Structure 1
Amino acid sequence: MTAGAVAAFALTRTLLLLWVLKVLPVRGPDVTSDVAVIYQGWYEVLRTGTYPLDDVTWQYPPAAALAILSPGLVPSLDYVHAFFALALVCDAAVLGLLLYTGRRPGKSVRGAWFWIAGLPLLGPTAYARYDLMVTAVAVAALLAAARRPGVAGALAGFGAMLKVWPVLLLAGVRQGRAWAAAAVTGAALLLVLTASMPGALAFLGFQRDRGTEVESLGALVFHVARHFGWEGQVLLNYGSVEFLGPYVPLVSGVALGLTAAVFGWLAVWRLRAAEFSAATPADAAFTAVLLFTTTSRVISPQYLVWLLGLAAVCLAFRRSRMAAPGLLVLAATGLTFLEFPIWFDKVVASDPLGVAVLAARNGLLVAAALLACRRLWTGTVPPGRRRGGRALPARSGRDRASVGP
Structure 2
Amino acid sequence: MNRPRVTPGPVLALTVVWLATRALMLWLLTHSSARLLGGGSVTREVWRLYVHWYDVLSHGAFPAHDTTWQYPPGAGVVLLAPGLLPWLTYFQAFVVLTLAADALVAAALVRVGKRAGRSLLGAVLWTGGLPLLLHLPLARYDVQVTALAVLSLLTLARSPRSGGVFGALGALVKVWPALVLLGTPRGRTSRTAWTWAAAVGAATLTLLAISFNNSLAFLREQGGRGVQIESLGGTALNLARHLGWHGRSRYQYGSIELTGPHVAAVAGASLGLTAAAFGLLLLWRVRARHWSEATPFDAALSAVLLFTATSRVISPQYMVWLLGLAAVCLTSRYTSQRPVALLVLASSALSSVVFPMYYREVVDGTWTGCLLMLARNGLLAAAAVLSFVRLWHSARPPAGTSAAATEPRPDSDRLQDRALSVS
- TM-score normalised by length of structure 2: 0.91
Q: CA deviation at 1:12?
A: 0.5
Matched, 1:3 2:18: no
| Equivalent position of 2:157 in the other structure | 146
| Equivalent position of 2:4 in the other structure | none
Contact between 2:301 and 2:322, CA under 8 Å: does it hold in 1? yes
Matched, 1:44 2:47: no
Q: Classify 1:148/1:28 alpha carbon distance in 2 versus 1 (closer, same or farther; 3 Å).
A: same
Structure 1 residue matching 2:135: 3-state secondary structure: helix
| Equivalent position of 2:38 in the other structure | 28
Contact between 1:18 and 1:24, CA under 8 Å: does it hold in 2? no
Distance in 1 between residues matched to 2:418 and 2:114, nearest whole Å:
21
Say which of 211, 223, 234 aligns to 1:208.
223
Matched, 1:229 2:244: yes
Distance in 2 between residues matched to 1:346 and 1:165, nearest whole Å:
30
Q: Classify 1:370/1:318 alpha carbon distance in 2 versus 1 (closer, same or farther; 3 Å).
A: same
Say which of 100, 122, 126 aligns to 2:133.
122
Give the aligned residue type for 1:267. L
Q: CA deviation at 1:394?
A: 1.5
Say which of 396, 399, 407 aligns to 1:394.
407
Structure 2 residue matching 1:242: 3-state secondary structure: strand
Distance in 1 between residues matched to 2:37 and 2:27, nearest whole Å:
14
Distance in 2 between residues matched to 1:277 and 1:390, nearest whole Å:
14
Distance in 2 between residues matched to 1:24 and 1:197, nearest whole Å:
36
Matched, 1:18 2:27: yes
Superposition CA RMSD, Å: 1.9
Counterparts of 1:5-404 in structure 2, within 5 Å, are 5-22=14-31, 25=34, 26-29=36-39, 30-174=41-185, 175=189, 176-382=191-397, 394-395=407-408, 396=412, 398=415
Q: Classify 1:247/1:149 alpha carbon distance in 2 versus 1 (closer, same or farther; 3 Å).
A: same
Give the aligned residue type for 2:30. L
Structure 2 residue matching 1:228: 3-state secondary structure: coil
Larger mean Cα displacement after TM superposition, 228-237 or 362-371:
228-237
Count residues in correspondence.
398
Distance in 1 between residues matched to 2:305 and 2:137, nearest whole Å:
18
Distance in 2 between residues matched to 1:351 and 1:58, nearest whole Å:
30
Q: CA deviation at 1:23?
A: 7.0
Q: CA deviation at 1:179?
A: 0.3
Distance in 2 between residues matched to 1:202 and 1:134, nearest whole Å:
20
Give the aligned residue type for 1:150. R
Distance in 1 between residues matched to 2:23 and 2:136, nearest whole Å:
14
Q: CA deviation at 1:106?
A: 1.6
Distance in 1 between residues matched to 2:79 and 2:33, nearest whole Å:
26
Q: CA deviation at 1:209?
A: 2.4
Give the aligned residue type for 1:240. S
1:23-45, Cα deviation, whole Å (9 max, x unpaired): 78443242000100000000001
Q: Classify 1:400/1:80 alpha carbon distance in 2 versus 1 (closer, same or farther; 3 Å).
A: closer
Contact between 1:279 and 1:314, CA under 8 Å: does it hold in 2? yes
Distance in 2 between residues matched to 1:6 and 1:399, nearest whole Å:
30
Give the aligned residue type for 1:28. G
Q: CA deviation at 1:294?
A: 0.5
Q: CA deviation at 1:272?
A: 0.7
Q: CA deviation at 1:64?
A: 0.5
Contact between 2:230 and 2:314, CA under 8 Å: does it hold in 1? yes
Unmatched runs of 5 consecutive residues or more in structure 1: none
Q: Classify 1:27/1:379 alpha carbon distance in 2 versus 1 (closer, same or farther; 3 Å).
A: same
Contact between 1:161 and 1:190, CA under 8 Å: does it hold in 2? yes
Distance in 1 between residues matched to 2:65 and 2:356, nearest whole Å:
28
Q: CA deviation at 1:338?
A: 0.3
Structure 2 residue matching 1:172: 3-state secondary structure: coil
Distance in 2 between residues matched to 1:400 and 1:23, nearest whole Å:
45
Larger mean Cα displacement after TM superposition, 75-84 or 389-398:
389-398
Q: CA deviation at 1:224?
A: 1.2
Q: CA deviation at 1:54?
A: 2.2
Distance in 1 between residues matched to 2:214 and 2:173, nearest whole Å:
15
Contact between 1:59 and 1:207, CA under 8 Å: does it hold in 2? yes
Give the aligned residue type for 1:118. G
Q: CA deviation at 1:232?
A: 1.6
Q: CA deviation at 1:95?
A: 0.5
Contact between 2:167 and 2:180, CA under 8 Å: does it hold in 1? yes
1:272-318, Cα deviation, whole Å (9 max, x unpaired): 11111111111100100010100001000000000000000000111
Q: CA deviation at 1:381?
A: 2.4
Give the aligned residue type for 2:16. A
Contact between 2:181 and 2:194, CA under 8 Å: does it hold in 1? yes
Give the aligned residue type for 2:294. A
Distance in 1 between residues matched to 2:59 and 2:404, nearest whole Å:
55
Give the aligned residue type for 2:322. L
Distance in 1 between residues matched to 2:258 and 2:348, nearest whole Å:
23
1:335-359, Cα deviation, whole Å (9 max, x unpaired): 0000001000000011111111111
